[in-house]
Amino acid sequence: MTSDPAAISTPADAEEPRVSIIVPAYNEGEGIERVVQRIARAVSVPFELLIVFDTPDDTTAPVAQRLQAADPRVRPTLNTHGRGPANAIRFGFDAATAPVVVVTMADGSDDPSQIGALVDLVERGVVVAAASRYMPGGQQVGGPLLKGLLSRLAGRSLHLIARVGTRDATNSFKAYSTDFVRRVSVDSRHGFELGLELTAKARRLRLPVAEIPTIWLDRELGTSNFQLYRWLPRYLRWYFYAFGSRLTDEETRSADLSRE
């Protein structure tokens, strides 16, 4: 398992990855195998797949290690930044070796066949490429009604009023320029609000954001770890942050949200 970003190496005979795919996982057990298989079948660009979990005894860990033995592109990765999905994704960003990073969920709700298109957009110059459920051609199938309504309302208003460049700023399924992520740093420490944070920061820096339509399917197995009422205040702070004036890189890295 990888527990130190500096200790990462790429097999000598492996093709240099164009994208680091980050999958934050929490006790997914055998379910992670199906997600990895779908990614391996669907993604044609050279990639590394970081399966990030918080503790060595997470049920995802032994399955990820077994998958790595069959496919060296799979990297079981022990997060040492602290528990929770935001910290797992942050650790994945630090550990990534490719110039593009994609975050996708361990529940199989995202469409891995779109990873290549998201990577292409970042390579063409955008800093955030979002898979959007709420643009023409996109759709959300299943999931909690209230969560979906709030997400759609936030996405549409941010697109129309704040001009963030996507109708689905809250979706976690996004590609980022690795350089951009490391330039602005990530302040989120708890839930899945990280995707909204980076979209808002791109807007405040006036950097390009793009989107493609996606069809999101609610997970078939296991229980979602999304905690709406606990994480809603953290989403709201980044929602309002997106409406602010233009910032420099340094101001974005040292933003005091209490003054926004």
| Cα 117 to Cα 109: distance, rounded to the nearest angstrom | 17
Angle between helices 228-241 and 145-157 (to 10 degrees): 0
How many domains, in total, are found in the chain?
A: 1
* pLDDT score recorded for residue 221: 53
Any domain includes 42: yes
Domain region containing 29: 15-250
Any domain includes 9: no
Any domain includes 75: yes
* pLDDT score recorded for residue 176: 98
SS3 87: helix
* pLDDT score recorded for residue 255: 60
Q: How many CA atoms lie within 13 A of 134 on its CB side?
A: 21
Residue 146 burial by CB count (10 A; 0-12/13-18/19+): exposed, middle or buried? exposed
Any domain includes 90: yes
Residue carrying structure tokens 């979209």: 199
Q: What is the DSSP string of 90-149?
A: HHHHHH--SSEEEE--TTS-S-GGGHHHHHHHHHTT-SEEEEESSSTT-EEESS-HHHHH
Any domain includes 6: no
Q: 10-residue block means of pLDDT along the chain (260 residues)?
A: 47 76 96 96 98 97 97 97 94 97 95 98 98 95 80 92 96 97 91 93 97 88 57 87 90 58
| Cα 112 to Cα 152: distance, rounded to the nearest angstrom | 22
Any domain includes 235: yes
| DSSP letter, residue 2 | B
Any domain includes 242: yes
| DSSP letter, residue 158 | I
Tell me the CATH number at 129.
3.90.550.10
- 151 — phi, psi (to 5°)? -65, -45
Any domain includes 2: no
Dihedral (C-alpha) 87, 226, 131, 189: value to the nearest 10 degrees?
-20
Q: How far apart are the first and last CA of the chain?
A: 40
* pLDDT score recorded for residue 253: 75
